[in-house]
Structure 1
Amino acid sequence: MSEVIYRPITAADSAAVIALGNQVHGDNYLTEESLADYLQRGQQQGVNLCWLAEVEGEVAGIRLTFAPGQWQIDNFCTPEEWNIPLAKICYFKCAAVAEHRRGLGIGKTLLMNSIDGAKALGCEAGLAHIWMQSPKNSAYEYFTKCGGELIQEHDKRWYKASIEDGYYCPVCDGVCFCTAGEMLLTF
């Protein structure tokens, strides 16, 4: 079995991170501009919450996480249900594991690395919008096994991105009507 190496994502990893994110989530899910923004949001006080896994020199998994105060509540959030102050919540933006590398525990280890960094920043929880139409509903199953609790489902979470930003949903074959499961993982 090949060794899995975990390390924080840097700007030098951008092309490989974008390629994997788009392979898993659909074309234009990540762009150079969005990833640069996400990586900036993932750093605070010298702590990087964005991680990748490498196997045999290839990026096998990614986890993009925003630091507390580096993300905004939107119409797909129900903060009255969180019971934790916003200042103590990070945001789990994106995770992707290459299909041929799944089953190695990469997704969970990447999440744990982000959580360790978030704890160092004083976080007590992380919020995510889980892709409920992911193949075999694997995203929801994975996040639930990691301790995430469903707060509410939100229809058409990525619709605007598919209409205005060129995101191509692989499940909806273009314009995205997928549902997001707003989930909170306390730690």
Structure 2
Amino acid sequence: MVLFATDDQGRLVDTSTAYVMTEVEKAELEQKLVDTGVVRPNVVGTRMGLLKSSAVVPRHRGQGIGLRMVIERLARLQRLGCAAAVVLAWDSGGRHSSLGVLEAAGFQRVAELPEYWREPEGAETFDCVKCEGPCECTAIVIRRSLYDFTPEETVAELSHTR
């Protein structure tokens, strides 16, 4: 799924994506988690959603748009029958890293996958702003159960903590 958020004038302020993981994707993730020492990661055999990218236009950051988009994606994944959602987060080290938003939405850290975004030898690479060359960053795996997720309660809880 691809979601868009707009401002009062209809201008785009956020684009966010998510989808239900395939069995192959879940098996690959579970193996990577086991390889890092996670005991019983419980990925295979669970209908699992994956939150992918989310980008808030810089001048609209810090207004709760990213968090609302996380909650909306979780609600839609839950309606699609997902029992949990996972994110392979990239910690940019910047003020607007997604980690704080995701943790505010109830995600918990599971593991770190070193050099997760490193491309195989000979593959096309992209320059990472953090690595200042080909990306060799660590992925931070975070997960949230959707069994206890209610979008309305989550929004209400968060509005009291601001």
- Specify if TM > 0.5: yes
SS at match of 1:72: helix
User: Cα distance, 1:177 vs. partner?
Assistant: 1.8
1:142 is aligned to: 101
Structure 2 matches for 1:84-99, cutoff 5 A? 85-99=44-58
Alpha-carbon distance in structure 2 between the residues aligned to 1:178 and 1:159? 7
Between the aligned residues of both structures, percent identity stands at 19
Change in 2 beyond 3 A, CA 1:90/1:81: same
User: Cα distance, 1:84 vs. partner?
Assistant: 5.6
Deviations 1:53-108 (A, max 9, x none): 11233321121102243771336842754336544111111111111101221111
RMSD: 2.6
Change in 2 beyond 3 A, CA 1:135/1:87: same
User: Cα distance, 1:145 vs. partner?
Assistant: 1.2
**Any gaps of 5 or more consecutive residues in structure 1?**
1-48
The alignment of Structure 1 onto Structure 2 pairs a total of residues equal to: 139
SS at match of 1:160: coil
Structure 2 matches for 1:1-187, cutoff 5 A? 49-55=1-7, 56-69=9-22, 72-73=25-26, 74=28, 77-78=32-33, 81-83=40-42, 85-136=44-95, 138-160=97-119, 164-187=123-146
**Any gaps of 5 or more consecutive residues in structure 2?**
147-162
Runs of 4+ deviating beyond 6 Å: none
Larger Rg: 2
User: Cα distance, 1:136 vs. partner?
Assistant: 3.5
Deviations 1:24-81 (A, max 9, x none): xxxxxxxxxxxxxxxxxxxxxxxxx321111233321121102243771336842754
**What letter matches 1:123 in structure 2?**
C
Alpha-carbon distance in structure 2 between the residues aligned to 1:65 and 1:147? 17
Change in 2 beyond 3 A, CA 1:148/1:164: same
TM-score of the pair, normalised by structure 2: 0.73
Change in 2 beyond 3 A, CA 1:96/1:163: farther
User: Cα distance, 1:161 vs. partner?
Assistant: 7.7
2:160 is aligned to: none
